[in-house]
Amino acid sequence: MTKFILVMYMCSMATGECPSNHIPGFSFTSHVDCVENGYRVAHNTFKALEEIEEFDRENNKIVVKFECQQIRIPEPIMPRIKPKIST
C-alpha cells in the first residue's frame, strides 16, 4: 500500500535557508490529494504568521514550502482462521 505524507518547510528567501520542517500528520492515498491539501495548509500557515510578531514575513521574505513524500506501507498479514472442530 502506498501513502503520501505532507511535509511542510518554513523558509527565508532572504537567507536561502529552510531551518525547520514539520510533518503535520496528514497522509493521503494519492499524490493529487496530498498536493491539493499541501497548498491549502501552506496558505493557512502563511496567513497565520501575520499574527506572530517574531515572524516578519516581509523583511525575512518568509515562504512556506511543502512536499508530498511517498511511503510504502506493508500490507497487514492476517492470521488464518482455524476451523472449529465439533466434538
Give residue for cell 500528520. Answer: 25
C-alpha count within 13 angstroms, C-beta hemisphere, residue 3: 10
Nearest to 34 by CA among 76, 63, 2: 2
0.95 surpassed by pTM? no
Cell numbers that stand for 42 in this block: 501552506
Which range scores top for mean pLDDT: 34-38, 46-50, 56-60?
A: 34-38
Nearest to 4 by CA among 28, 20, 37, 24: 28
Instruction: For residue range 10-36, list pLDDT tens digits in order.
Output: 999 999 998 888 888 889 999 999 999
Distance CA 48, CA 19 (A): 18
Instruction: For residue range 61-77, list pLDDT tens digits in order.
Output: 999 999 999 999 888 77
- Mean pLDDT over 25-50 rounds to 93
| 83 has pLDDT over 80 | no
